[in-house]
Amino acid sequence: MKGLWKYISPFAPDQSGATAVLCEMGGLIVIIDAGGCAGNICGFDEPRWFEKKSAIFSAGLRDMDAILGRDDRLVKKVQMVCEKIDGEFVALVGTPVPAVIGTDYKALQRMIEVKTGIPALPLDTNGVRFYDSGSEKAWLSLFQTFAGQSIGMEPGTMGIIGATPFDVGLEGFDFDSQKVWCYGMGAGIEEVKKASTVMKNLVVAPSGLKAARYLAKRFGTPYEVGFPLEQIKGYDSFIENVKKDLSGEDAPKKILIVHQQVLAHSLRQELRRHTNAPIVAANWFMMDKELREPWDVPLSEEDQWVELVMEGGYDLIIGDPLLQKAIPDYKGRYYSLPHFAVSGKYLAFEE
Does residue 67 register a pLDDT over 80?
no
What's the burial of 84, exposed, middle or buried (CB within 10 Å: 0-12/13-18/19+)?
A: exposed
CA distance 106 to 100: 16
Higher pLDDT, 68 or 5: 5
Nearest by Cα to 187 from 179, 286, 231: 179
Asked whether the predicted pLDDT for residue 139 surpasses 90, the reply is yes
Lowest mean pLDDT across 84-98, 168-182, 200-214, 285-299: 168-182
Q: Is 60 exceeded by the pLDDT of residue 73?
A: yes
**Is the confidence at residue 66, as pLDDT, over 80?**
no
Of residues 62 and 167, more confidence is placed in: 167
Q: Is the pLDDT of residue 295 over 90?
A: yes
Residue 307 has pLDDT above 90, yes or no: yes
Inform me whether the pLDDT recorded for 39 exceeds 90: no
Burial of 329 (0-12, 13-18, 19+ CB in 10 A): exposed
- What is the pLDDT confidence band of residue 1, given thresholds at 50, 70 and 90? low
**Closest to 60 measured CA to CA, from 48, 70, 50:** 70
* pLDDT surpassing 80 at residue 351: no
pLDDT per residue as tens digits for the range 245-277: 888 778 889 999 999 999 999 999 999 999 999
What span, in angstroms and rounded, lies between the C-alpha atoms of 304 and 105?
36
Rounded to whole angstroms, how far apart are CA atoms 75 and 140?
24
Q: Which residues pair with 350 in a beta bridge?
A: 336
Could you tell me what percent of the chain has a pLDDT over 70? 99
How far is the C-alpha of 284 from the C-alpha of 201, rounded, in Å? 25
The pTM of the full predicted model, rounded to 2 decimals, is 0.94
Distance CA 305, CA 298 (A): 10
CB 103 within 8 A of CB 66: no
Q: Within 10 A of 253 (CB to CB), how many other CB atoms are there?
A: 13
On average, the pLDDT of the chain sits at 93
Which has the closest alpha carbon to 54: 31, 18, 28? 28
Q: Residues 54-83: what's their mean pLDDT?
A: 84
